[in-house]
A and B are shown apart, each in its own frame.
Chain A
Amino acid sequence: NAGVTQTPKFQVLKTGQSMTLQCAQDMNHNSMYWYRQDPGMGLRLIYYSASEGTTDKGEVPNGYNVSRLNKREFSLRLESAAPSQTSVYFCASSEATGDYGYTFGSGTRLTVV
């Protein structure tokens, strides 16, 4: 049982390049989330998907897009990367009710130069 799997683990981009962060969960969870983590700021919600077929903006959505490909997969796309998007990105999933909190992936460390 892998839980939440994120790829890649590390990435360096040049300003203006695009990339997609992949996330898949095998726990049959309905809800999935993308957070970014910056030093001293905790985790901030970028986008979430309460259920397959729906996505909504979180606290810091600018510069990102998401796709809920199916129940298992939720991807995050940076269309034109900026240095301000240098961060560690975490994907998470949960039961629809939110009970028991989230299960997190191990993160993607992204550097934009």
Chain B
Amino acid sequence: GESVGLHLPTLSVQEGDNSIINCAYSNSASDYFIWYKQESGKGPQFIIDIRSNMDKRQGQRVTVLLNKTVKHLSLQIAATQPGDSAVYFCAVMTTDSWGKLQFGAGTQVVVTP
């Protein structure tokens, strides 16, 4: 089965710095990758996605990098703001289990002034 993990449970970042959140996956059939943001008391919210035929995708202040060789995914947040404080999850969909996402355990990002 799929194993999805994140490297750090908590990431403390100073306001204005860049944040990097990492995620490892195990199934080589993984084809679609999504990052979610979850604020306290709310459901996860879609941030950005990337397909396995890409290695980089950019959004507003966020960039997702995919390294299929080492099965590693990262989310970069530029100029981190207090509103970025949340738990971030990576989620993976495989070609043999299409439509079902498997989630990592999450990384708590704490933005300090």
A residues apposed to B, CB below 8 Å: 4, 31, 33, 35, 40-45, 48, 50, 58, 90, 92, 94, 96-98, 100-107
- List, sorted by A's number, 23 A–B pairs whose CB atoms are closer than 8 Å: A40-B9, A41-B105, A42-B4, A42-B89, A42-B103, A43-B89, A45-B101, A58-B100, A92-B43, A94-B99, A97-B98, A98-B32, A98-B93, A98-B100, A98-B101, A100-B46, A100-B49, A101-B34, A101-B36, A101-B49, A101-B91, A104-B45, A107-B43
The verdict on A43 contacting B44 (CB below 8 Å), with A96-B99, A101-B36 known, is: yes
Chain B contacts for A40, CB-based, 8 A: 9, 105
Q: Is the CB of A106 within 8 A of B93?
A: no
Q: Which residues of B contact A (CB under 8 A)?
A: 4, 9, 32, 34, 36, 41-46, 49, 89, 91, 93, 98-106
| Interchain nearest-CB distance for B30 vs A (Å) | 13
For A4, A98, A101, A104, which residue has the most chain B Cβ atoms within 10 angstroms?
A: A101
B100–A45 CB distance below 8 A? yes
Q: How far does the alpha carbon of A48 sit from the alpha carbon of B100 in the complex, in Å? A: 8
Beyond A58-B100, A101-B49, A104-B44, 8 additional contacts (C-beta under 8 Å) are A40-B9, A42-B104, A92-B43, A100-B46, A101-B34, A106-B41, A106-B42, A107-B41
Tell whether A42 pairs with B105 under 8 Å between CB atoms, given A31-B99, A98-B93, A98-B98.
Answer: yes
Contact (Cβ within 8 A) B43 A50: no
Specify which chain A residues have a CB less than 8 angstroms from the CB of B4 in the assembled complex. Answer: 42
| A residues near B98, Cβ cutoff 8 Å | 97-98
Chain A residues with Cβ below 8 Å from B36 are: 101
Q: List, in ascending order, chain B residues with CB within 8 A of A31's CB.
A: 99
Q: A42-B89, A42-B106 are in contact. Are A102 and B101 (CB under 8 A)?
A: yes
Return A109 CB to nearest CB of chain B, in Å.
9
